[in-house]
């Protein structure tokens, strides 16, 4: 599919081992552990290219960019009281069939009062 150098082939295979989300630094850590000499800039450029080619999807998680080769959505639930952020997986994607345009990936930010905070509120009230 691609003509790749050994370095890029190594990176490509490494990316496929992540079943969930990863960031540039996690890839870099793996590369370093395996004693490969691939710089952050190379990794960054390679991820950018894969993203442009639609091989991986990117999302904003907190203050960093995360990628995934097999997850097409990234959902945050943020508690407005304690500020905790949870990741939620959406399994039913039926609503996407309503869309006329092709959807590659998407991100949703949900907010509310989490169960823990609700329980604390309950405990204090009764």
Judged by beta carbon, residue 7 or residue 78, the one nearer Zn ion is: 78
Q: Does 82 bind Zn ion (CB under 5 A)?
A: yes
As a whole number of angstroms, the distance between CA 2 and CA 25 comes to 24
Judged by beta carbon, residue 8 or residue 57, the one nearer Zn ion is: 57
* Helix residue ranges, H only, 24-106: 24-33, 40-52
As a whole number of angstroms, the distance between CA 24 and CA 2 comes to 21
Judged by beta carbon, residue 90 or residue 117, the one nearer Zn ion is: 117
Taking CB under 5 A as the criterion, the residue among 81, 103, 109, 111 binding Zn ion is 81
CB of 53 to Zn ion, least distance (A): 10
Which residue stretch of 6-14, 42-50, 91-99, 108-116 sits at the interface with Zn ion (rule: CB under 5 A)?
108-116
Distance of CA 93 to the CA centre of its chain: 17
As a whole number of angstroms, the distance between CA 92 and CA 113 comes to 23
Q: Which residues of 15-33 are buried (b: 16+ CB within 10 A; e: fewer)?
A: beebeebbbbeebbebbee
CB of 66 to Zn ion, least distance (A): 6
Q: Does 71 bind Zn ion (CB under 5 A)?
A: no
Taking CB under 5 A as the criterion, the residue among 42, 65, 90, 117 binding Zn ion is 117
Tokens at residue 86, please? 């949870």
Query: Which residues of the chain form contacts with Zn ion (CB under 5 A)?
Result: 57, 61, 79, 81-82, 104-105, 114, 117
């Amino acid at each position: 599919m691609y003509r790749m150098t050994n370095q890029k082939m190594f990176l490509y295979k490494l990316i496929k081992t992540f079943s969930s989300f990863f960031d540039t630094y996690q890839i870099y850590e793996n590369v370093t552990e395996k004693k490969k000499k691939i710089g952050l800039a190379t990794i960054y450029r390679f991820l950018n290219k894969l993203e442009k080619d639609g091989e991986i999807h990117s999302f904003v998680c907190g203050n960093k960019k995360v990628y995934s080769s097999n997850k097409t959505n990234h959902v945050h639930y943020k508690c407005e009281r304690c500020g905790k952020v949870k990741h939620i997986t959406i399994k039913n994607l039926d609503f996407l069939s309503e869309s006329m345009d092709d959807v590659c990936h998407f991100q949703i930010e949900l907010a509310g009062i989490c169960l823990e905070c609700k329980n604390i509120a309950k405990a204090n009230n009764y």
